[in-house]
A and B are shown apart, each in its own frame.
Chain A
Amino acid sequence: MHTSIVQGHPVTARQPLAFIVVLTMVLLLLSSHADAIPAFNRQTGQNCMACHAGGNFPELTPYGRLFKLTGYTLGERALPISAMAVASVSKVSNTTKSDAPADDFQKNNRAILATASLLLGGKVTDNIGAFAQVTYDPYATQDANGRFHGHSNADNIDIRYADRFIGGQRDLIFGLSANNNPSVSDPWNTAAAWMQYVPVPSPTSSRFIDGNAPYPGFGAGGNIAGLNAYAYWNQTIYVELGGYGSSRGLTRFMSAGINQADNTRLRGINPYWRLAYNHEWGPHSLMVGTSGMVARVYDDPLDTSDPATLHKFTDLGVDAQYQYLLDPHAVTMQFAFTRNHVRYSAASLANPAAPFFDASGAATLADINAADTNHVLRAKVSYVYQAKYGGSMGFFNLSGTTNTANQTAGYDATGTLIKTDGAASNLSGNPGTRGITLEAFWMPIQYLRVGLQYTAYNRFNGASTNYDGFGRNARDNNTAFLYTWLAY
């Protein structure tokens, strides 16, 4: 429905830093004369920091969690439209170890309009509210001439019905969420849908920024259609059960703008569950939880006739979040660990020969695996002062089984070393990737954040050195990412 394929107009400048600074100043000037404010802010009339920890969206405060779980219905009906835009610059540490730097690091060290979103959100009735996002990517596709083309599609959607039975010492929130992304309904920021929060630009210069480094996730991915029921009892126990199916027919709007060929096709109803324990004392709050999903995904979205083409994903996660919120201080610690298991379809295993050969070119490598298991760990600590100045430190580690099917570099039948995925090629067949991200950010006004992230790798695609077979080392992927994010 939102398939507005329009010509992208990338913003570029020779001096990226200067561009970001000037843009920030212009936005500041505009904002001081504008009355437009984000939709939820209009609805409650409160500052962003009431719901977002230290004003750092999207992370929610205990109050923000209750606002979400009560179905976005607190407050008064208001104009339910907001917009946001992100401009950014990515700079990869080493762009020389590449056969084709122009392809491997598109727009490197150039300021671009990264993404823009239109958000519809707010109270509909006493029990119904919604949050829906349509995102425009100016760099969605590239034609044969190298020109980028923009594209819009449905992003996170969460439509809720909620009721709250409260009185005396009893508090029960019950609700339903129709949504398009497993865990988008979750009120904690360690949820897969929320932990990575800075929109990721498409050009390949951003392929190594923090948002593209390993994060917990669900094999089914997004833009599917789910209905979840949840209950939050005495702000202590949170339970959520849901089922996801393909986004089509009545629920096609959940994947609006996504081509049929790219639209995840699931077989039947696929279960999602979430259990969390929450405790608040003084300015502290702690959540310890677990979640999981089993999904059967068709290999080819355009052909769902053969059950032999189904991959089965089993994802299990544990997560924890601690917050200390006492104005003007906001401290958050987040931890998430997931085990992702995938059993490949019988059809994809019909020819199990590895795509590459040994160094002599004479013998093929071990057959591809019938199943893989990966583990992703993310830990982050952040601090925000006066809802203005903040910083964070994050650690990520992806480890998993080695599979010759993962290889995008290796020897061909003539014994020649080749690679098929540019600077991100994988010689080992192992996905192991590890590193840290440091971030500093500044929110001069509550609708605007300017952030600088630096992501450093000591392992990439299973190796710290020569991971692609052509001499590229993990640390060559270290990337600085400067962004300015406006939400209105």
Chain B
Amino acid sequence: MKLATPALAAAAALLLIGCANPERSRDLANPTVLATTMAQQVCSNCHGMTGSSVSPNFPNLAGQTAAYMVAQLKGFRSHGRSDPAGFEYMWGLSRSLTDAQIQGLADYYAGQSPTVQPIGGDPGRFESGKAIFANGVADKGVLACATCHGPDGKGNTNFPRLAGQHADYLVKQLLVFQRTEERPEGSIMKTVAHDLTVQNIQDVAVYLQALPGVLERPGLQLTR
């Protein structure tokens, strides 16, 4: 083991060089690391530098309501939210966050400019999605999404912002609400989404993803 000594000495020297660097830390169990640092060093890996994610696998957080963000992060931390997106990616990351860090992260993302997605897809779906969002599905007793999420889908306290969210994420979450008990905090959505068809869900999701840009499209103005 004659080589162990210099190897250990080198390791110790390296340790001293990089012992603590809270301004640019990726430590998720250090309560002194600021939420902004965490958002940039860690969360940005999936959710983008300002909360607009590149991959639809991960929701946009920019402009999300702070109250909803706090509830979700606490739900991940307590394992109260157990959908795949939650337990696969978020349980571990949130397990040691302090309440103050959670509030800081929520404020950070609430303060970012909301994501504006490029408009794509079939305008026929926008019309159908807009109808569900603004008016619900009367013959199935489905409430209008706008009732709680606001006429522009910008959200309101515990009701999350939906405008500009990835359609893929919205579809997956609506199916989670409709078909599972994995998001008990959103149990109201189980009732709301109960009678939506998969087609309904896809239509409303592509419409919401295109908000707010879709407002500027002729003939697709929201019913106010």
Residues of chain A at the chain B interface (Cβ within 8 Å): 1, 41, 44-47, 49-50, 62-63, 66-67, 70, 73-77, 123-128, 159, 161, 163-169, 171, 249-250, 252-253, 280-283, 325-327
Contact = CB atoms under 8 A, between A and B. Distances in A.
A76 B93 CA distance: 9
Interface stretch (B53-61, B133-141, B152-160): B53-61
Between A159, A281, A325, A326, the greatest number of chain B beta carbons within 10 A of the residue's beta carbon is seen for A326
A127 B18 contact: yes
Contacts of A164: 24, 26, 41
Contact of B21 (A74, A126, A166, A253): A126
11 contacts: A1-B3, A1-B4, A45-B93, A47-B87, A49-B88, A62-B55, A73-B26, A75-B92, A163-B21, A253-B3, A253-B7
Question: What 7 A-B pairs are tightest by C-beta distance, nearest first?
Answer: A45-B92, A127-B18, A76-B29, A126-B21, A74-B26, A47-B88, A126-B25
A245 B121 CA distance: 55
Interface in B17-48: 17-22, 24-29, 40-42, 44-46
A283 B57 contact: yes
A46 B85 CA distance: 11
B45 A127 contact: no
Given A126-B20, A127-B18, A75 B28 contact: yes
Which bucket holds chain B's interface residue count? Answer: 35 or more
B40 A250 contact: no
Mostly, the B contact residues are: helix
B7 A250 contact: yes
A128 B12 CA distance: 11
A280 B28 CA distance: 26
Given A126-B25, A161-B17, A45 B40 contact: no
A46 B89 contact: yes
B15 A125 contact: yes
B54 A281 contact: yes
A159 B18 CA distance: 13
Mostly, the A contact residues are: mixed
Contacts of B3: 1, 249-250, 252-253
A282 B54 contact: yes
Contacts of B15: 124-125, 128
Contact of B41 (A46, A128, A166): A166
A127 B21 contact: yes
Contacts of B57: 283, 325-327
Nearest to B16: A125
Contacts of A76: 27-29, 96
A46 B93 contact: yes
Contact of A282 (B4, B56, B95): B56
A157 B66 CA distance: 43
Contact of A1 (B1, B28, B87): B1
A250 B13 CA distance: 14
A166 B44 contact: yes
Contacts of B21: 125-127, 163
B91 interface: yes
B105 to A, nearest CB: 15
B6 interface: yes
Nearest to A74: B26
Given A46-B93, A126-B27, A166-B49, 16 more contacts: A1-B1, A1-B4, A41-B92, A46-B89, A46-B91, A66-B45, A67-B45, A73-B26, A74-B45, A124-B14, A126-B22, A165-B24, A166-B24, A249-B6, A253-B3, A283-B56
